[in-house]
Structure 1
Amino acid sequence: MRAYVITEPGIGGVADVEPPSPAPDGVVVGVSKVGICGTDMEFFDGSMAYLHDGNARYPLRIGHEWVGRVLEVGVDVDPAYIGRRVTGDTMLGCGRCQRCTAGRAHVCAARYEIGVRGGWPGALAERLAVPVSALHAIPDSIDDIAAAMIEPAGNAWRALDGAGVVAGERLLILGPGTIGLLCAMFAHAVGVEVHLLGLEGRSLDFARTLGFDGVWTSDTLPSLAWHGVVDASNASHLPGLAIDLVEPGRRVALVGLAGSPSRVDSRGIALKDVTLVGVLGASAGLRPAIDAFASGTVDPGPLVSAIVSLEEATDVLSGGRLPGAGPGPKTLIDLKRRSRC
């Protein structure tokens, strides 16, 4: 089958690899569409932290935001799964340790992360092996474009949940990328007053078209009571700013990851009685994201700027703006599409 393989920093391409077989408790999915995210780009340029702490190594196959149909099932799986349209959890715990049995498989020390951690091959391929326990069915009301956005949406939902705001309160989101914008959409849908902070340019211009209550730069941000703050950026100084800005006694959710350590003053956290909430993975947010997409309360479609072939993945991972791409932050790879070249 065709799969995208990164062999070293800045070097990757489509290769013919052996197709997977289902584990006894697993399935093989025929992949339809895959989203490219910042983590994938960090694997491509070599900066991703897992490459430096031993949790990932080249060659590797990326892709953890996906949708497809079940083609094969393992011997212990109900054959009725064949043909089902699905996406799946990225975080695959061992299932035996105390964290897994307590419902925290996403932080299992021995976990795999599909296309990310531990060498589990990712979805940027024609077929993907997945445990049946990780699958989530996709209703017909969600098309493949939106379905490929469920994984980042799950992260965004968890970030909003972590920020602890309710209808009528005010939320500030730092970073108008895919997860920040999805978080803003979830918040807006439940009656939260939504504001975003970013750098002037294309991303912020796009955010202004989506109808949020305020879109600001650091120079224009008004002095308001922020009842919750979400850091969805990759800037190392913004967690500290989030703590400074949030109302005393409220919450800051940290879903973004910077390339260098973030320094925060614990005195500010303690003296303001602020709660910091870390968000790793979409696991608990996948079902709420599916429900919101299915009901139409959140529409991720405008965030997709381009849909391209597997052969064009290198151009996307290199950070280039593809010809004809729209203003949104997300590019999808269509595994059934062939290169225009």
Structure 2
Amino acid sequence: MGINMKILNLMQCLNLGGMEQSAYILMRETHEKMITWQVQSITPGGVGKKIAANLNIPAKDNLYIGKFGWRSYFELKRKILEFIGDIILVTGPSLTSCLAIKGSSYKKVLGIHFCHGSSIKERLKWKLFYNFFGKDYDAIIYHSQYILEEAKQIAPYLEDKFHLVEYSTQHCSITSEKDKRTARQHLDIPTDKFIIGNAGWLIERKRFDIFLQVCAKISKSYPNVFYLIAGDGPMRQELEILARDLGIIDKVKFLGWQEVLHTFYQALDLVLFNSNSDAFGRTVMEAMGYGVPVVASVLEGGTDSVIIHKENGYLIPKHEIEQLAEYCLKLINEQDLYNKFQLASIETIRKRFSNDLYVQKYLEVFNDVLKAS
């Protein structure tokens, strides 16, 4: 298929979070095939700038000075005006980015990657956002059914612009014992223990404190376990102190950010995922794509789109330490159940959340937007 679109991806940042990883998948699968991409980050470039360079995609960043980046606004707008193409895709809305393209003659598509929140204050902010910016966009994409339904409640008058494009990941075969051992040797972790891990920003919302508390509970019943955390953030030091206070610091390794998570997932036996709010926990689906069973607690979000409780994993709506530890121990001790969840996880990703399907749905939105010219 020939190249037929030129799109500027206006991104909140160029880091390694779930929102950014999904953007990199879309660009990697389509660049110089169906789409010629350019990238503009509203904040200083992160690891994603290197990823874009490796894909031969021009990527610029911005300083983001002042509250909401207002002091960098005119420089950002100038850079955006240099774009010549067909569509501007806003990956993750921010006041700065939305204002910078307001009034632009290009077709505009907005990608919403996070929950709207349940409090009156949060919902009011989103209502104001949709009232002021909603009409600017030719399409608004939501990455889980959960946040799509939230948007319908907040801004029903925009529903004809709404599209559901759920996150995606690759599906693999179950990691062999040989490859698992090699991955663990590469990460310098024990090769003979049951490994439980999680990945993400070390921030309050992601509840790695719950992860560590559950790990401590598990260790009392099953000491032959090691715990692995991939990611970084402002709470790292606090979490390291908590691991020490819980008496498991010698059983936990903080890997920091991993540009490629292939080795991380190959090393794992189980993912324990906890979050206060996640539109669609990317770590969950990535783990399942490798056939790694998941035990999760999520207070609000669309994780139930991928985890079907007791069918392909465990998912509860509260951070109940005892219950989470019990589910982990069941998977440690019951091999038949573990095998069932492994196979069901891979099949879920293969059928509903493949990269091919994700790209196809995005292309359908882009084509529809251009046809409406």
What is the TM-score of this pair, normalised by structure 2?
A: 0.26
Greater radius of gyration (CA): 2
Name the TM-score, length of structure 1 as normaliser: 0.28
Q: Please identify which structure carries the higher strand content.
A: 1
